[in-house]
């Protein structure tokens, strides 16, 4: 009986330790991979800013003058669904957006992918994509 209560106490300690380890994610870097031979790849850096998430895309190989639409989509890069959150166009390889009313943890809990399209005129061609996940880098 004494052994059992010791076991129970240690289980409680382990649970408390795990809860404190599950603090809100404050920053996350997502690798953005080339798609369709575009030569474009880079990173998305997500930073929790109060109730909003700042998303900074840094893409190498992007055209200097053609703005490239970017979004956070539902789904995965292999199976992209609708747009969940719009991002600012990538211009000369960079894009910064404040996505209102979301947390990095909410994004991590779901299935979301950040993708970049070739141009507004050619949205159907995807040039780069990365899934929002802890193991993304």
Nearest CB to Cu ion, comparing residues 9 and 86: 86
Distance, CA of 105 to CA of 134 (rounded, Å)? 10
Shortest Å distance, C-beta 123 to Cu ion? 7
Shortest Å distance, C-beta 18 to Cu ion? 36
Shortest Å distance, C-beta 12 to Cu ion? 46
What are φ and ψ of residue 67, in 5° steps?
-65, 135
**Chain residue at closest Cβ approach to Cu ion:** 71
C-alpha to C-alpha distances, 107 to 15, 58, 71, 86, nearest whole angstrom: 24, 19, 13, 14
Shortest Å distance, C-beta 35 to Cu ion? 11
Q: Which residues bind Cu ion (CB under 5 A)?
A: 71, 115
CA nearest 112: which of 75, 82, 57? 75
Nearest CB to Cu ion, comparing residues 41 and 115: 115
């Amino acid at each position: 009986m004494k052994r059992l209560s010791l076991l129970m106490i240690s289980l409680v300690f382990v649970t408390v330790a795990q809860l404190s380890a599950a603090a809100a994610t404050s920053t996350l870097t997502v690798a953005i991979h080339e798609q369709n031979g575009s030569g474009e790849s880079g990173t998305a850096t997500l930073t929790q800013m109060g109730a909003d998430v700042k998303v900074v895309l840094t893409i190498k190989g992007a055209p200097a003058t053609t703005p490239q639409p970017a979004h956070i989509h539902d789904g995965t890069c292999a199976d992209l669904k609708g747009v969940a959150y719009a991002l600012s166009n990538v211009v000369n390889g960079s894009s910064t957006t404040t996505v209102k009313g979301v947390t990095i943890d909410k994004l991590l809990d779901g299935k979301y992918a950040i993708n970049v399209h070739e141009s507004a005129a050619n949205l159907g061609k995807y040039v780069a994509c990365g899934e929002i996940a802890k193991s993304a880098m």
